[in-house]
Structures are given as C-alpha cells and as structure tokens.
C-alpha cells in the first residue's frame, strides 16, 4: 500500500476467468494495491463456479463489480441473478463488493446474513455520465450514500470543463467517510492523478492502453512511474501545463523526472483548459504553484497575471506562471530558449568548419 493511504487499483476487464487471474498477477507486478474484478466483462460468467476461483485465487485484495448496463456496465440479465452473485462474493470473503446506489439500500438489507460473517466492505457507487453536479449536490450525494450504510462512498462524474474537478476535490477533502471521487474524460484526468493529495480512498490505473474500464483512465505504469502517485501526499506541490490540446505534451515526462531526480515533493500534470481566466480563478490555492502555458493561451496568460516580466511584456505573451506571495507572476522563457538554440547551433557550425579545415 502506498504511503499516503490512497489505494492504487487496476480494473481487470478480461473476458475469461483464466485471463483475469493472469491480469491480476501482472497488476501486482506493476504496483497495484488492489484490483477490481469487472465480472460483467467475463463471457458466460457463472458466479457459483467462477467467483470461488477468482476470490480464492487472488494475489491482491479484490473489489468485485458486476456492473449493469443501466449504470454503464455490460450486464443485461436478470437483476435478481446479479444481486445474488454479489451476495455470493461477500460470503466468499471478497475484500470489497461494489453495488450501485440505485439498489444499495435493498441490497444491504438483504445481504445482512452474508455480511455478518464476512469481512467484506461494501462500496456504494454512483455514476453520472453527463456532467459534474454543483458542490452542494455532490455533498448531498455523499451524505445520502453514507446514510445508506456504505463502508466506502464512490462518486464518478463527467467533466465538461477542467474546473469541474475542483468541486470534487473539495468534496473529498471534507468527506467524513472513505471516499472514491473521480471525474471521467480528458478534462477530468487530474482527478485521477491528484486523488492521493486530496485524500481519495482509491484511484484507478488501467493495465494498458485499451484496457480502461472508464473514459480518461491513465495506465497503472503512468501513475506509478511518471506521476509517482504512491509517493504523493497532502504537501505535494502541483505544477502543470495549460493548453488545448495538451495530451501531446512531453512536459509531464520531463518535469516529473526532474522532480524525482532532485527529490522535490511536486508533481506536474496536464490541464485541458477552455478558459484561462476561469481556470486560474478556480485553481487559486497555494498548492497549485505554477503553470507552463502553451497554445492557445499565451496571450491570455499575460492579461491574467498580476505582474509580468519586462521581456514577456515586450513580447506580448507569457508561457510560464509562478505563484509567489499570492500573486501570479508571468515570464516568457521561449525567447531565451530560442536564442540559446541558435547560439548552440552556431557554435556547432564553427566547430564543424574547423574540423573540415584540418
């Protein structure tokens, strides 16, 4: 388990029990703390036969999830059959069982006998595939899930804007129960990368590209190797690149490696932004320490800064923002980088000329 208390979970979406058991071993090797067994992906899933193999053959703690179509999963069969399978998972000692809010109250009541003799914990989940509600609505949703008797609260929303994620962070920080709170889609990526910093109970990392169980999931290796989520804590400073598009940027690779090299407690993340001013106003806390700025926001960034370096002012664009004493200070490092590149090229040309004259 990571030092920050946030579990790193690999969702397993295999189509057979044998493949899922094999994936579990890969997940353990790649640094997962827990795996989610998405049994709704298994072709011809037979709970009485398959669940004992999966649970007794586990090499990591497991979350058993049998997600129905109406909550974004693959199961389309009889609901009684599905609920019976989840109760079976509890009786077999699954570490966690995920059940949807819509059926959670009835499920918890009918599962009392199984829960009495089991150490299984019930995750009550709710997915919103359209948007991210207001902060008040998120708080009410968490309270409702908690009141039903959930051991772990799970809310998953969809990002229309990157600023939606800030409401989810706020809700998790103030939650009184273990809470998984994630935002789907490219604009919600930071909810997954920064979950440990804001006290999330768990974040998901796919085994590989194409093996995601929800839109916007990073891979397990990205979380552990690039973003080092297992080393993140509440004091971790957050830097990142602001742009649209931004997924192609090498910034996270370069800066996170540099932070690791010098032992600096910081992370560098991509922000897919629509409105520069709104973004800076929402992510105005001291934890968000600085931003690289790329297309199309370099001119907008200049207008948003409290102070601007004279060179950046003369150029008319800012590509670097530092938060200092509560103020946003703007710089332009493109100019210096371009001049340095030209000078390096000229020096190399002179060397080549000398070699040719010998």
Query: What tens digit of pLDDT does each residue of 298-309 get?
Result: 999 999 999 999
Using pLDDT thresholds of 50, 70 and 90, give the confidence band for residue 339. confident
Q: Closest Cα to residue 166, out of 275, 41, 75, 285?
A: 285
Please report the pLDDT score of residue 357 as a whole number. 46
Q: Could you tell me which residue, 117 or 271, shows the higher pLDDT? A: 271
Active site residue 334: yes
Least confident range from 94-98, 169-173, 350-354: namely: 350-354
Assess whether pLDDT exceeds 50 at residue 88. Answer: yes
Tell me what pLDDT residue 342 has.
87
User: pLDDT above 90 covers what percent of the chain?
Assistant: 90
Least confident of 31-40, 124-133, 298-307, 343-352: 343-352
161 is annotated as an active-site residue: no
Instruction: Considering the candidates 33, 95, 287, 334, report the single residue annotated as catalytic.
Output: 334
Out of 88, 197, 298, 300, the active site residue is 298
What is residue 133's predicted lDDT score, i.e. its pLDDT?
Answer: 98
Is the pLDDT at 280 greater than 60, yes or no?
A: yes
Contacts of 196 (CB under 8 A, 6+ apart): 2, 4, 5, 6, 203, 229, 230, 232, 233, 236
Q: Higher-confidence residue: 292 or 341?
A: 292
pTM for the structure as a whole: 0.92
Give residue-wise pLDDT tens across range 232-272. Answer: 999 999 999 999 999 999 999 999 999 999 999 999 999 99
Confidence grade of residue 273 (pLDDT, cut at 50, 70, 90): very high
- Which of the following is catalytic: 154, 161, 197, 255? 154
Query: Looking at residue 355, what is its pLDDT?
Result: 41
> Which residue did the predictor score with more confidence, 292 or 354?
292
Give the pLDDT score at 349.
Answer: 61
């Amino acid at each position: 388990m990571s030092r920050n208390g946030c579990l790193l979970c690999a969702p397993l979406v295999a189509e057979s029990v044998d493949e899922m058991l094999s994936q579990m071993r890969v997940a353990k090797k790649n640094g997962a703390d827990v795996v989610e067994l998405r049994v709704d992906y298994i072709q011809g899933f037979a709970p009485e036969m398959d669940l004992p193999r999966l649970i007794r053959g586990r090499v990591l703690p497991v979350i058993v999830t049998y997600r129905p179509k109406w909550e974004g999963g693959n199961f389309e069969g009889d609901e009684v059959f599905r609920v019976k399978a989840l109760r079976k998972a509890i009786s077999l000692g699954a570490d966690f069982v995920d059940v949807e809010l819509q059926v959670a109250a009835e499920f918890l009541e009918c599962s009392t006998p199984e829960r009495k003799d089991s150490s299984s914990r019930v995750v009550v989940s709710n997915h919103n595939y359209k948007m991210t509600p207001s902060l008040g609505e998120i708080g009410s949703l968490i309270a409702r899930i908690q009141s039903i008797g959930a051991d772990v609260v799970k809310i998953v929303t969809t990002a229309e804007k990157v600023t939606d994620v800030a409401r989810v962070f706020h809700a998790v920080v103030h939650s009184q129960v273990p809470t998984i709170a994630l935002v789907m889609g490219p604009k919600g990526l930071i909810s997954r990368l920064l979950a440990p910093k804001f006290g999330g109970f768990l974040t998901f990392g796919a085994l590989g590209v194409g093996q995601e169980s929800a839109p916007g999931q990073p891979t397990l290796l990205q979380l552990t190797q690039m973003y080092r989520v297992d080393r993140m804590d509440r004091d971790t400073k957050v830097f990142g690149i602001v742009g649209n598009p931004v997924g192609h940027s090498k910034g996270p690779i370069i800066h996170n490696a540099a932070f690791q090299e010098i032992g600096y407690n910081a992370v560098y993340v991509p922000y897919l932004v629509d409105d520069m001013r709104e973004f800076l106003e929402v992510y105005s806390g001291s934890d968000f320490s600085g931003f690289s700025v790329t297309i199309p926001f370099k001119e907008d960034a200049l207008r948003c800064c409290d102070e601007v370096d004279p060179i950046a002012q003369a150029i008319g664009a800012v590509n670097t923002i530092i938060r200092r004493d509560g103020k946003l200070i703007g710089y332009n490092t493109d100019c210096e980088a371009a001049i340095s590149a030209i000078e390096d090229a000229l020096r190399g040309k002179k060397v080549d000329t000398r070699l040719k004259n010998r």
